[in-house]
DNA sequence: ACATTCGGGACCACCCGTTCCT
DNA sequence: AGGAACGGGTGGTCCCGAATGT
């Protein structure tokens, strides 16, 4: 998995993991600059003194780790949802439906777990930008593999995956701002028609 | 134009306008929370004491105004670029090319002028969210009008506009994070094929 | 009266008077430093730009004027209440009762109109200190005249007046902090016994 | 003693104590609103960043603590001065003399350590008002105990203590504003005559 | 190894009292 | 008399080391 450390193999819920998950949740909803270390510590329930033991790189390292973990998790989800049926169009529909449901359930706070941070710091923090880029890459790979399996050549599959991911990311933005699932549903319609 | 005040008709470069444009530039590159008022004041060159005269609502009002103005500007640009030729597909291509050029020229800092802020504060500041929503709406209207003129019924035109805007917004995210125009180019290809 | 200007003889409620009375009220409840010019302007209803026309000396001059006016007013009240009956002890009792009633009615906000400011700025602003000193002097004179009329020699009357004023001022402090009229009532008892 | 923390028992001069004593001195001379955090930090010599570690409640908590400590100190002094001799009247005289000497020595800046703040914020800050009320209460208790020991019944002792404290507090105001010890001396005369 | 206290400035958004020019 | 504009300062909070227990 991640090279940063063992994810508490069978042990008690470590402070480290608590920090990461608290960070991931806050970054998703508020972004990087608006999320304070004190806020993370308070939400995690872990002792503040432990933070710089686990993450000597401070806020930046913590955020990069959280982004990487969230990216890996979503990559797995994409693979799972798209692989559950033979029909790629139907899979894409289910993927978007899942996202729309989560977005609504959170009061339009839980969009893409990394897009906000990615936009904020892509010019400021190379480690975080790299983590975000790696996450996007893994999602593109998961999507591209399905398109390739569907008969497209590698080049076409890659372009198609990029298009699909971009449309979904953009729809998540529009949906959050409009507080409405309509953009996601419109994109779903168009993508299903395109792919099917 | 804007209801917030007269844009210094022919007058000297007002402090108010200097604040707004400095804010817009910084918000585009860094987002809301990472942009300090001191930074805005320094870049604007205007006196600090004047800020709360022009914007008694503080940072939030200033940001909402800047977002609104940037949104209106881009709506005009969309209309101009898309209306310059009869061919809608070609117009879309030119629009995306323009964005890609601007993004590269800025070292991948100047993406969508409002997406970053929109994601950051959509759950925190209603005025800013509303300004961003209005901006997106105006862009959708500009796009939808072209699709309707191209023969689609209103419903289809609206859905298609949403799809196109989402794809472009998403591509701008991916391009910034990857530091590459490839996502924009891929989306351009697919959209031109779709529309043409 | 005051040498600062004519108190709008028969005219409309001037901005000047509005500034002074708003200032007096705020100084009494909050003191000098906590009272902002904006707050004064807002409460007075007068235009902000006029403030420095009427009070070129700024906040300090405005406060000194308000303190002087409040001092003169209370001096008149002391004279009126103490002179309304032949019995000095009864007059003192009525004076303190009036103060206690006003204090309670205001929710323990309206104590001595000048003591708070006097303590705050006695080391910082000579004009305000002088105005406060003049106010105290006028109150001492009003009290001393009654004691002299009651048969004490000038020296004794002066000392007695100082004692009485000090006790009342101190009781007003204690009453505000305790949010109770008890200190005023205790002082009333003791003073009536002493004087009677 | 205080429940707020250990007063650095024999340790080095802690930042915490430095903040408190600097605050107490400034509050006594200038009051609450006129005393800035920066001023406190500068005078204390301690680092500003430590302030919010020791006093997360900010300025208000710091002031309440300083008021409470000053109140406890003065309560001890009252007890010590009044208990040093059998004669209560003489003790009161010494107490007032001490205050008069301190006031003159400070250039009429060091009056009652809490009266200024108490008047300023009694309507604005409940914690500070409570601390001031507690301080006054402890002084009243110290005084009342002496009067009770002198033969007065509890009720009379309490009323007498209130009267004495009020007279002294009032005299401190008058003395500061007049820049003269006369009010304190007058009150001293009258009180000694009353008690003796 | 892990946790905590405490220390350290830089920086935040906000608002102050004041003055210019009409 | 008055609306617009001005710098400087406010209290507060930030992210982060370094020393100190356990």
Q: Is C53 exposed, middle or buried (0-12, 13-18, 19+ CB in 10 A)?
A: exposed
Which of C136, C169, C177 is facing D133, going by the closest CB pair? C177
Contact across the interface for D170 and C174, Cβ inside 8 Å: no
Measured between CA atoms, the residue of chain B closest to residue A121 is B30
Q: What is the mean pLDDT of the segment spanning A24-29? A: 95
Query: Which protein residue lies nearest to nucleotide F13, measured between its Cα and the C1' atom?
Result: D52
Nucleotides of F under 7 A from a protein CB: 1-19
Contact across the interface for D174 and C136, Cβ inside 8 Å: yes
Can you tell me the distance from the alpha carbon of B24 to that of A149, in angstroms, rounded to the nearest whole number?
44
A173 vs B contacts (CB less than 8 Å):
115, 118-119, 166, 169-170
Contact across the interface for B166 and A162, Cβ inside 8 Å: no
Measured between CA atoms, the residue of chain A closest to residue B163 is A187
List chain D residues with pLDDT less than 70. 1-13, 84-85
CB of A37 within 7 Å of some strand F atom: yes
Residue D67 CA to its chain's centroid (Å): 7
Contact across the interface for D166 and C166, Cβ inside 8 Å: yes
Q: Do chains A and B touch (3 or more CB pairs under 8 A)?
A: yes
What pLDDT is stored for residue D9 in this prediction? Answer: 38
Determine the distance between D70 (CA) and F18 (C1') in angstroms.
33
Residue D157's φ and ψ, nearest 5 degrees, are: -60, -40
Is pLDDT of A6 > 60?
no
Determine the distance between A48 (CA) and E7 (C1') in angstroms.
15
Which of the residues B105, B165, B173 would you substitute to probe the A interface, choosing the one with the greatest number of A C-beta atoms within 10 Å?
Answer: B173
Measured between CA atoms, the residue of chain D closest to residue C136 is D174
Can you tell me the distance from the alpha carbon of A35 to that of A59, in angstroms, rounded to the nearest whole number?
10
Tell me the nearest-neighbour CA distance from B27 into chain A, angstroms.
9
Which nucleotide across the nucleic acid strands is nearest to C53, CA versus C1'? Answer: F1
What is the rounded radius of gyration, in angstroms, for the C-alpha atoms of chain B? Answer: 18
Which of D116, D178, D186 is facing C119, going by the closest CB pair? D116
Q: Which residues of A141-173 are buried (b: 16+ CB within 10 A; e: fewer)?
A: ebbbbbbbeeebeeeebbbbbbbbbbbbbbbbb
Q: Do chains C and D touch (3 or more CB pairs under 8 A)?
A: yes
Can you tell me the distance from the alpha carbon of B57 to that of C190, in angstroms, rounded to the nearest whole number?
55
Is pLDDT of B186 > 50?
yes
Is pLDDT of C169 > 50?
yes
Percentage, residues of chain B above pLDDT 90: 88
D190 vs C contacts (CB less than 8 Å):
159-160, 163
Can you tell me the distance from the alpha carbon of D18 to that of D24, in angstroms, rounded to the nearest whole number?
10
Determine the distance between D87 (CA) and F2 (C1') in angstroms.
67
Q: Do the beta carbons of residue B28 and residue B70 sit within 8 Å? A: yes
Token output for C57: 């000396």
What pLDDT is stored for residue B13 in this prediction? Answer: 58
Residue C114's φ and ψ, nearest 5 degrees, are: -125, -10
Which of D107, D111, D162 is facing C187, going by the closest CB pair? D162
The predicted-structure confidence for B98-112, as pLDDT tens digits, reads as follows: 999 999 999 999 999
pLDDT tier at B4, thresholds 50, 70, 90: very low
Residues in Cβ contact with C58 at an 8 Å cutoff, skipping those fewer than 6 apart = C52
Which nucleotide across the nucleic acid strands is nearest to C35, CA versus C1'? Answer: E16
Is pLDDT of A189 > 50?
yes
Q: Do the beta carbons of residue B146 and residue B82 sit within 8 Å? A: yes
Query: Which protein residue lies nearest to nucleotide F8, measured between its Cα and the C1' atom?
Result: B49
Tell me the nearest-neighbour CA distance from C66 into chain D, angstroms.
17
Which of the residues C33, C173, C182, C193 would you substitute to probe the D interface, choosing the one with the greatest number of D C-beta atoms within 10 Å?
Answer: C173
Can you tell me the distance from the alpha carbon of B105 to that of B97, in angstroms, rounded to the nearest whole number?
12
Size of interface A-B (CB pairs under 8 A): 161
Measured between CA atoms, the residue of chain B closest to residue A186 is B159
Determine the distance between B54 (CA) and F3 (C1') in angstroms.
13
Q: Do the beta carbons of residue B78 and residue B164 sit within 8 Å? A: no
Helical packing angle, B154-178 and A182-195, nearest 10°: 90
Contact across the interface for D33 and C34, Cβ inside 8 Å: yes
The 10 Å Cβ neighbour count of residue A182 is 16
What pLDDT is stored for residue A84 in this prediction? Answer: 66
Contact across the interface for B123 and A136, Cβ inside 8 Å: no
Which of C29, C120, C159 is facing D31, going by the closest CB pair? C120
pLDDT tier at C13, thresholds 50, 70, 90: low
N-to-C CA span, chain B: 35
Residue C91's φ and ψ, nearest 5 degrees, are: -65, -45
Is pLDDT of B3 > 90?
no
The predicted-structure confidence for B14-50, as pLDDT tens digits, reads as follows: 899 999 999 999 999 999 999 999 999 999 999 999 9
Task: Tell me the average pLDDT of chain B.
Answer: 92
Determine the distance between B50 (CA) and E20 (C1') in angstroms.
13
Nucleotides of E under 7 A from a protein CB: 2-20
User: What global pTM score does this model have?
Assistant: 0.90
Determine the distance between C52 (CA) and E19 (C1') in angstroms.
9
C160 vs D contacts (CB less than 8 Å):
190
Q: What is the mean pLDDT of the segment spanning C53-60? A: 96
Chains near B (3 or more Cβ pairs under 8 Å): A
Measured between CA atoms, the residue of chain A closest to residue B191 is A163
B134 vs A contacts (CB less than 8 Å):
none
Measured between CA atoms, the residue of chain C closest to residue D111 is C119
Show the CA angle centred on residue D189, arms to residues D186 and D190, nearest 5°.
90
CB of C46 within 7 Å of some strand F atom: yes
What pLDDT is stored for residue D21 in this prediction? Answer: 95
Of A21, A17, A13, the closest CA to residue A5 belongs to: A17
pLDDT tier at A167, thresholds 50, 70, 90: very high
Q: Is D153 exposed, middle or buried (0-12, 13-18, 19+ CB in 10 A)?
A: exposed
The predicted-structure confidence for C128-160, as pLDDT tens digits, reads as follows: 999 999 999 999 999 999 999 989 999 999 999
The predicted-structure confidence for A54-104, as pLDDT tens digits, reads as follows: 999 999 999 999 999 999 999 999 999 998 667 999 999 999 999 999 999
CB of C48 within 7 Å of some strand F atom: yes
């Amino acid at each position: 998995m991640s090279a940063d450390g063992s994810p508490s193999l069978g042990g008690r819920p470590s402070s480290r993991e608590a920090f990461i998950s608290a960070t991931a949740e806050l970054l998703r909803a508020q972004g990087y600059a608006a999320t304070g270390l004190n806020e993370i510590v308070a939400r995690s329930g872990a002792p503040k003194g432990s933070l710089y033991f686990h993450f000597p790189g401070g806020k930046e390292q913590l955020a990069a780790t959280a982004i990487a973990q969230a990216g890996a998790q979503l990559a797995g989800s994409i693979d799972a949802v798209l692989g559950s049926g033979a029909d790629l169009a139907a899979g894409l529909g289910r993927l978007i439906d899942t996202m729309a449901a989560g977005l609504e359930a959170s009061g339009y706070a839980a969009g893409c777990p990394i897009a906000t941070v990615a936009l904020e710091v892509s010019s400021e923090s190379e480690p975080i930008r790299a983590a975000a880029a790696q996450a996007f890459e893994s999602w593109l790979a998961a999507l591209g593999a399905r398109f390739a399996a569907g008969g497209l050549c590698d080049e076409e599959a890659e372009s198609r995956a990029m298009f699909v991911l971009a449309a979904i990311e953009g729809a998540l933005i529009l949906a959050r701002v409009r507080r409405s699932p309509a953009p996601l549903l419109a994109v779903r319609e168009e993508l299903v028609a395109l792919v099917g």
